[in-house]
Structure 1
Amino acid sequence: MSDPLVVSLADPRAAEPALTGGKAATLARLRTADFPVPDGFVVTTAAYRAHADAAGASDRLAALERGEERAASALRDRLAGTPLPERVLGSIRDRLDDGAYAVRSSATAEDLAEASFAGQHDTELGVDAADVPDAVARCLGSLFTDRAVAYRERNGVPHRGVAMAVVVQRMVEPDTSGILFTADPVTGRRDVAVVDAGPGRGERQVSGRETADTARIDRETGEVLDYRVGSGRAARVLDDDTLRTLADLGDRIEAELGGPQDVEWAIRDGDVSVLQSRPVTSLFPVPDPRPADDALHVYYSFGHRQGMTAAMPPLSLGFWRDLTNELGRQYGLPGRLGAVAGGRLYLDLTPYVARPWLADRIVSNLRIIDEPTAAALADLLAERGGDLPDPATGPRAWLRAAGSAGRFARTLVAFVAGFPGALAARNPEDAPDDLLARYEEEVAESVAAVRSHDSARQRVRAARDAVFESVDWLLEPFYGRFLAGVAAGWALRRLVPERADDVAELAGGFEGDVTARMGLALGDVADAARDHPAVADALRDGATLDDLSGVPGGDAFRAAFADFLDEYGFRGPGEIDPSRPRYRDDPSLLLGVVAARLDAGERGAHRDRFAARQADAAAARDRLEAAAHPLLRPVVRRLCRLYRHYVGLREHPKFALSKLLAEFRTQVLAAGDELVSRGVLADREDAWLLTLSELDAALADGATPGDLPARRRDHERFAATDAPRVVTSDGEVPTARVEPTEDASDLTGTGVSPGVVEGVVRVVTDPRNADLRPGEVLVAPYTDPGWTPLFLNAGALVTEVGGRLTHGSLVAREYGIPAVVAVDGATRRLRTGDRVRVDGANGVVERIE
């Protein structure tokens, strides 16, 4: 049976989005559920296709897909200007009476959870019955407005995959109309409804000639939190009772449709009509699982703390959630630590920030590593601290607290047990190689144990367990030494306060830093290319490793590159996410960096720059000694040695952990290969879309996983979303107030590596596709060890995420690169080719005309 050309809103088929489009399908669903939706009918997508065929739209659609100029307007004009087919006209006229109608477009790619298409297609109000067919044709043509075409292209929606329907309803000529948001679209709070309202149809508000009245309502209590009267009016257009009626209506619509809604409404003679409802797509998801106590909880982004803010697929996300929860239990931390939102892991800070004395310490510590988070958290606590759950009291609570404190104390004692020995060590210079050797031995044993298992299922389990069990042997030999280094720095700043700035210089050019070693080794690879002009020319032209076979000197260069990959190929951008490729999987980033280095300086320039940093560190040590009291100079000399050789160990645990994560990646992909061979998966990479338990079940008995295409779409949608640093259990995303500079065009952040550099901006969101030229200012959302090769070419660094002790800041100081981090929206506010001045001491990025 062919699809109908026109259906009533009361017809069950009207609730099918493929037939009636997103807007009409939602209205039909609400009308069936007895919501006050005006009566009407839908000109279906079958009618659209008949009309498009009659208008000869196919050739114009092909031109649009080819990107031809003015193809969209030609297609739109052809659809709007061609009379509707007689059978469509007849079906419409049979349903019309005298009076006015509202004619609204309803595309199939509309009112979706991931893309609302709000305002992209046409609506015509107060249309006389005789003019409805022409209005329908214009709405059909609005599928190809310039704004709708651009919106589809931006959201990856193919033009040929969409169709248009049109909903025609009796016109409600309102006394008052407006929009109801069932969640606050500005703060994200799900417990607050927001109403915008104006007199009549609200045309003056829509056109921007007047502002609407705006009210915020507490959804739980019905209290009107605030009401702002719009311009052009002396009095409110809505009273409190009407606001509560609208909020209650929104509650019921949200419950029916399953998520926060943007509801268009109209009121005439006291009766409310629902004209449209669509998802609010701008809200960041609330963390899951929800708190069991129904109180306000505060969550901190694990990705921002780790310097990797990209979304992770389900398997990686579940892996880290389980690991953080296990660590929380092991170390006596109260409650469930990990929660998931928007493809990211969040850590529940509530048990700590609910105690004012502890909250102050947490905010203070966050200021050192992530100033924007500290500021946002401080503002949130000042405004809503009273909504946090009261710390548990009573005998049971005290017993639980004592048990947690005992487990935490045992762990802390184990970690700091090496502190006295580290302070007294005869040769702290040996610490980097000693610690690395211990890690290499532990990693080798763990990897061998993983690979000893017979089945892919067992190897995946063993690889996961190897990471979970690594924390103790990673931290116990490290923590005492690192703490001794921090203590040495603290002591130096107090013994020689007038030279406190020199303390940070002490760690520069530290040959024991595993990340610095990687950068130097890659510089050596570039020198290997310099030794063979034919190789250098090929790399400048974008040659791959395979392309170098047969090029004079190609084998020698490939051997040097292979040696680098043997040592560092397990690393890569975003490496805390096991699903992300490592250098050995995709060496293109490294080859690009090598090619760029060929035009930057002479052979060995990277080693010379490193030696200069070592000289700066030695000079800083000499200044500290000279400034100290003569009796304290031996102490200062000793503290300088401790600080230099222990603080630089910071990257060692992550270096070793990354090897285990790479092994886990290897085993998951091998399991993916097995499931492909058994017909369970279509692609090995689909394994990352499963949970660990689903992967285990699929390997055990071939169990069919869930809806993988839907999971892939969700992951792609989350990947395009900016994750907040802090989010609450009711959805609020607090943002810190930023103090403006004198020049409003300047960007401000946290200065983490001193120096001033002028240069051309290169915005890089994916380092695998970077083309950073020597001296350019690297502007990135974040950096982690996998980005380190780019630092060889960067003249300065600007990131959206980070603090004084995050990876990018440490490496920038190591390389002597001015750096400003925590610059909100840097990758959007700056563009490749802009010229800027980066002041790494004062945290300012100045645009230069």
Structure 2
Amino acid sequence: MDSTFAPIWGSLIVFIVCPLLGGLPLIDWITYALTGRQLTKMGTGNVSVSAAFYHGGKVAGILAVISEAAKGIIAVLLTRMFFPRASVWELLALIGLVMGRYWMGKGAGTTNVTWGILAHDIRVFAITILLGGVSFTINRDRQKGKIGILVILAIVIGLFHPNNPEYWVAAISLSGLLWWIYQQIPDDLDLSPNKVHTQSSKVFRFFQAEKNIVSLDSKLDRNKVGSKAANLALVKGMGYTVPDGWVLSPGEDAQALVNYLQPSPEQPLVVRSSALDEDSESASAAGQYLSILHIASKEALKTAILDCQASYLAKSAQSYRQKNQQEAGGMAVLVQEQIAGVYSGVAFSRDPVNSLNNGVAIEALPGNATKVVSGKFTPQRYQVILPELPSSGSPDRNTPNQIVITPKPDEIADSIPRDILESVALLAREMEEIFRGTPQDIEWTHDGEQLWLLQVRPITTLETIWTRKIASEVIPGQIHPLTWSINQPLTCGVWGELFTIVLGKKARDLDFNQTATLHYDRAYFNASLLGNIFLRMGLPPESLEFLTRGEKFSKPPIISTIKNIPGLWRLLQREWQLETDFKRDYQQKFEPLLTELTENQTQDLTATEIIARVDIIIEALEQATYYSILAPLSFAIRQGLLKVSLEDLDNSQTPEITSMQALAIIAADTRKLIAKEQITMNSCASLFAYLAENTEGESILNRFNHWLAQYGYLGDVATDIAIPRWLDNPRPVRQMFSRFFFDTVACEKAKTVSTQSTISWLDKLVQTRLNLKGKVSEVYNKLLAHLRWSLLVLETTWLSEDILLEAGDIFFLKLTEIKEIVANINTPDIKNIIDSRKQKWEQESKLKIIPYLVYGNPDTSLLKINPLILTTSNVLSGIGTSQGQIEGTIKVVSNLQQNIQNIDKKTILVVPYTDAGWSPLLALAGGLIAEVGGRLSHGAIIAREYGIPAVMDIPYATQLLHDGKKVRINGQTGIVEILD
């Protein structure tokens, strides 16, 4: 390069390129790529090598070191291209690098400078490291050591250039800049109390006086030190204010720790239990073990540790463990600095008494926290309602003025200040998020300046967490006992099989029978179990949010994916062979069975023969359930990975589309034979009356009945055998047929199903799974329909024999009970059982608002006494599933059994759920809003096919929106705006 311009270009490198290079958030990118975690959103937000080690693990930490070392070396080498070797410009380049690292990259730059100095002058590097090591060994103090090494660095650089004052200025500026940054954020190697401690600190353990002492600044294993200590270490490492602490493992000699600590009346310590079975998700052991405060001497400390360890052997503690079926694990002991609390208390992220209460429950008093938990003082009780972000359980820190506290603090004598209560409530909810959405019980204190977290543990009475997300789409609405007794084991069994394929041996202790249950007669999935499965699969804890809060499913980290390659490979083999396997089973099992079930009716079968028929159907359903879960899953995975637009796919082979197309064709042919003017009244009744009374209508009725025989297995909820099918109640499809007859536009739209003439090979890979999904759905729903019709024949017999009193009673029995009645084994009091369940059913049916999240085992009476109160704004947010915008009038439809009229292209339907059986209704509307569902749900498919905007996953939409209300919906963004 021309030497005339070299200084100019070199200056640009130093003052522009180097700061930009320093600001590149390589560490954050590396950690996110490997773990799915963003360091800027975790703990202190410090994007450092230490944070990468702590939040990302060893691989992320090592790569972070390499990336930052490379920055330092590159900055020096770039400068060297324009200036002499080891010039002062290289030091200026490092200063620019560090400035960019701090202001743009949120890091200190220690690693950059270390390796940059190595590239600049290896002599300076070697002498500085040598003298710095000596300084650490003599002082054994990190703070003094850091000051010393920066001073040494500046002096050594200056001594190598005694006659060049610019080196002294640059070296002092670099050291001073680093020291100033150390005061602003935690350094990568900082081991001081109340800082984020990391795995990188292990390198410097040999400088400490007691290298075997374990502190809360370490990443602790709950299996070795108990959940109490491990939880505090976790949140301390994330930047939360936790008193400094040290941990003794079960059986460990306390003498080394006693010698190391210096308790005094001015700086007392507290000894807490951290038993290996304490603060677990199943049992808290609250009050079983000792906590000893105000320890002001070494002798008192040693005695307190021994007393705490001995409390594990107390009879009451042993009885507690036996009652909760806990194995003895041993007592770890936690020693912490005692905080002089001005205000203290406990907080529950969810109300442990009324789990339906969405507020944070706080009990507090002036003074230290032991006053509240001792039971000797009556605390002040507060409820804090936090504003939550749309579709999220996360409290919004940006809207503190919306926080509601009852009773109002200014109305109570000696009350806790409002700002402290707000901070405690936010802290409690943040702890809930950190621990996978599990409600948390925290102990806290405020020293007059800052809030301290003393303990965090799960609220055991609120385990397990149950969620209606997804479950309400698979089998929506109120569910009869017979339906659940069949669906639950089938669903749990198949999900257990699939998870076992991936997890292998890691699935041995999981009870997949607990995957789903009923609350309020509605289906809920076990979010706690699924969260445990996600963790074992290596997915980040945030992945649970897509079940509990409706968030987007978290991307699996690369490392966890690699670890699960054997299981994922086995699942991939199943996925790849899915179509071949289904074709084989369809030909060998499903098609012959469905043909036999259709041709051989059950009217003349005995009860024993009907049960045998039922068993055959359920056996086929077990295999069909496997395909009904894996086929949609396979389709979703392919569509997501290959980025194929759902709008580009051909839905013409799905039952919900083919049924309406065939019906519209019959209606169009009817219009060719019969003029609309020949029908005296523009109604369904008059049309079918005319067809029945006139010769030309006979062929049409035959075709309609043939259509009904083909698609009559569909209904309001095809997965619930208690719900009538079209064949049982053809009124909805007769009305749809009439609408197609009288409305030429609607008929032509339903007739003209869009198909893709040419598709890419990527589209074809996804299309084959969409077609398979439709075929599987047809088989599965036909089997359920035949199961329903077989049991209805048995019900008819029992009604005539006075075993049952009313039609529909059989659905209030369980399948095992039906079999016992037929076999005359332990025949229960059927009528009383049915009557009791019907009363409960009626009570549950009156509940208008059912919670989407349920904690523990909820009491139905709570929902009756304290019903959920819904609040809404003028904007609702859901999932956009069919593109387009429309303004229209709301029509709420709870089910297909109600009389539905006056639906046109200005009508926006609001429904609790959609199934294939809703096609007749959706084909008439101009837009759709559903409480549950996603882009792959039946309603979304129908909406895309008919070109109407649709928004799914708007919780409580049927309660929030009312008939006649004007709204605007955006099927792309998922936004619903209330216009009046």
Alpha carbons 2:679, 2:687 under 8 Å: kept: no
Question: Which of 750, 770, 793 pairs up with 2:879?
Answer: 750
Query: For 1:648-704, what per-residue CA distance to the aligned partner results, in whole angstroms no more than 9, with x for missing partners?
Result: 432322211111111111121111112122221112321111122222233333753
Residue 647 and residue 558 in structure 1: after superposition, are their counterparts in 2 closer, same or farther (change >3 A)? same
What letter is aligned with 2:524?
Answer: Y
- TM-fit CA distance, 1:753: 0.8
2:531 match: 353
Alpha carbons 2:890, 2:962 under 8 Å: kept: yes
Tell me the matched-pair count. 520
Map 1:8-19 to 2 at 5 A: none
1:829 lines up with 2:960 in the alignment: yes
Alpha carbons 1:482, 1:646 under 8 Å: kept: no
What letter is aligned with 1:514?
Answer: P
Structure 1: tracts of 5 or more residues without a match: 1-180, 196-212, 218-225, 239-292, 379-401, 423-430, 494-499, 622-636, 735-739
Alpha carbons 1:759, 1:777 under 8 Å: kept: yes
Query: For 1:278-297, what per-residue CA distance to the aligned partner results, in whole angstroms no more than 9, with x for missing partners?
Result: xxxxxxxxxxxxxxx98822
Alpha carbons 1:763, 1:830 under 8 Å: kept: yes
Alpha carbons 2:491, 2:625 under 8 Å: kept: no
1:714 lines up with 2:840 in the alignment: yes
2:658 match: 517
Residue 576 and residue 761 in structure 1: after superposition, are their counterparts in 2 closer, same or farther (change >3 A)? same
- TM-fit CA distance, 1:781: 0.8
1:300 lines up with 2:429 in the alignment: no
- TM-fit CA distance, 1:457: 3.5
Residue 543 and residue 469 in structure 1: after superposition, are their counterparts in 2 closer, same or farther (change >3 A)? same
- TM-fit CA distance, 1:361: 4.3
SS in 2 for 1:374: coil
Residue 405 and residue 453 in structure 1: after superposition, are their counterparts in 2 closer, same or farther (change >3 A)? farther
What letter is aligned with 1:803?
Answer: G
Question: Which of 476, 489, 504 pairs up with 1:309?
Answer: 476
- TM-fit CA distance, 1:227: 8.5
Alpha carbons 1:507, 1:814 under 8 Å: kept: no
- TM-fit CA distance, 1:356: 6.3
SS in 2 for 1:340: strand
1:763 match: 892
What letter is aligned with 1:187?
Answer: N
SS in 1 for 2:728: coil
1:341 lines up with 2:508 in the alignment: no
Query: For 1:726-785, what per-residue CA distance to the aligned partner results, in whole angstroms no more than 9, with x for missing partners?
Result: 322254999xxxxx99xx423321111111122222211112322252312111111011
1:698 match: 821
Residue 463 and residue 214 in structure 1: after superposition, are their counterparts in 2 closer, same or farther (change >3 A)? same
Query: For 1:544-564, what per-residue CA distance to the aligned partner results, in whole angstroms no more than 9, with x for missing partners?
Result: 957852156442332222011
Alpha carbons 1:758, 1:835 under 8 Å: kept: yes
Distance in 1 between residues matched to 2:686 and 2:700, nearest whole Å: 12
1:374 match: 550
2:70 match: none
Alpha carbons 1:307, 1:801 under 8 Å: kept: no
1:387 match: none
Residue 228 and residue 466 in structure 1: after superposition, are their counterparts in 2 closer, same or farther (change >3 A)? same
What letter is aligned with 1:472?
Answer: Q
Question: Which of 343, 347, 353 pairs up with 1:183?
Answer: 353
Distance in 1 between residues matched to 2:522 and 2:794, nearest whole Å: 24
- TM-fit CA distance, 1:362: 8.6
1:570 lines up with 2:713 in the alignment: yes
What letter is aligned with 1:520?
Answer: Q
SS in 2 for 1:460: helix
Residue 828 and residue 517 in structure 1: after superposition, are their counterparts in 2 closer, same or farther (change >3 A)? same
TM-score normalised over the length of structure 1: 0.53
Distance in 2 between residues matched to 1:355 and 1:303, nearest whole Å: 17
Distance in 1 between residues matched to 2:692 and 2:751, nearest whole Å: 31
Map 1:643-722 to 2 at 5 A: 643-701=766-824, 703-705=828-830, 706-721=832-847, 722=849
What letter is aligned with 1:719?
Answer: S
| Higher RCO (C-alpha 8 Å, min separation 6) | 1
Alpha carbons 1:188, 1:731 under 8 Å: kept: no
Question: Which of 933, 940, 950 pairs up with 1:802?
Answer: 933
Distance in 2 between residues matched to 1:836 and 1:351, nearest whole Å: 39
1:382 match: none
Query: For 1:608-645, what per-residue CA distance to the aligned partner results, in whole angstroms no more than 9, with x for missing partners?
Result: 642xx33xx559x5xxxxxxxxxxxxxxx322333334
Residue 692 and residue 607 in structure 1: after superposition, are their counterparts in 2 closer, same or farther (change >3 A)? closer
Residue 803 and residue 481 in structure 1: after superposition, are their counterparts in 2 closer, same or farther (change >3 A)? closer
2:702 match: 559
Query: For 1:383-426, what per-residue CA distance to the aligned partner results, in whole angstroms no more than 9, with x for missing partners?
Result: xxxxxxxxxxxxxxxxxxx9x999x889847733526979xxxx
Distance in 2 between residues matched to 1:340 and 1:435, nearest whole Å: 32
Distance in 1 between residues matched to 2:523 and 2:729, nearest whole Å: 26
Query: For 1:222-253, what per-residue CA distance to the aligned partner results, in whole angstroms no more than 9, with x for missing partners?
Result: xxxx9954377242799xxxxxxxxxxxxxxx
Distance in 2 between residues matched to 1:366 and 1:650, nearest whole Å: 26
Question: Which of 840, 855, 864 pairs up with 1:728?
Answer: 855
Q: Could you tell me the percent identity over the aligned residues?
A: 20
Distance in 1 between residues matched to 2:791 and 2:701, nearest whole Å: 29
Residue 511 and residue 755 in structure 1: after superposition, are their counterparts in 2 closer, same or farther (change >3 A)? same
Alpha carbons 2:527, 2:548 under 8 Å: kept: no
Query: For 1:131-164, what per-residue CA distance to the aligned partner results, in whole angstroms no more than 9, with x for missing partners?
Result: xxxxxxxxxxxxxxxxxxxxxxxxxxxxxxxxxx
What letter is aligned with 2:668?
Answer: D
2:866 match: none
Alpha carbons 1:184, 1:193 under 8 Å: kept: no
Q: Which has the larger radius of gyration?
A: 2
Structure 2: tracts of 5 or more residues without a match: 1-350, 365-379, 385-403, 417-459, 501-506, 555-562, 864-870
Alpha carbons 2:940, 2:950 under 8 Å: kept: yes
1:323 lines up with 2:490 in the alignment: yes
1:466 lines up with 2:617 in the alignment: yes
What letter is aligned with 1:374?
Answer: G
What letter is aligned with 1:523?
Answer: A
Query: For 1:507-544, what per-residue CA distance to the aligned partner results, in whole angstroms no more than 9, with x for missing partners?
Result: 14x33223211121122233244342378555615459
Runs of 4+ in 1 over 6 A off after TM superposition: 191-195, 362-367, 408-411, 419-422, 431-438, 446-450
Distance in 2 between residues matched to 1:695 and 1:434, nearest whole Å: 29
SS in 2 for 1:549: helix
SS in 1 for 2:967: strand
Question: Which of 899, 921, 926 pairs up with 1:790?
Answer: 921
- TM-fit CA distance, 1:465: 4.6
TM-score normalised over the length of structure 2: 0.46
Distance in 2 between residues matched to 1:323 and 1:608, nearest whole Å: 37
- TM-fit CA distance, 1:463: 1.7
The alignment yields a C-alpha RMSD, in angstroms, of: 4.7
1:504 lines up with 2:646 in the alignment: yes
2:733 match: 590
Distance in 1 between residues matched to 2:641 and 2:551, nearest whole Å: 28
Map 1:99-110 to 2 at 5 A: none
Residue 727 and residue 826 in structure 1: after superposition, are their counterparts in 2 closer, same or farther (change >3 A)? same
Query: For 1:797-834, what per-residue CA distance to the aligned partner results, in whole angstroms no more than 9, with x for missing partners?
Result: 11111112222112222222210011122212222222
What letter is aligned with 2:888?
Answer: G
Map 1:482-631 to 2 at 5 A: 483=634, 489-490=639-640, 492-493=642-643, 503-508=645-650, 510-531=651-672, 532=674, 533=676, 537=680, 540=683, 542-543=685-686, 548-551=691-694, 553-602=696-745, 605-606=748-749, 609-610=752-753, 613-614=754-755, 617=756
Map 1:275-290 to 2 at 5 A: none
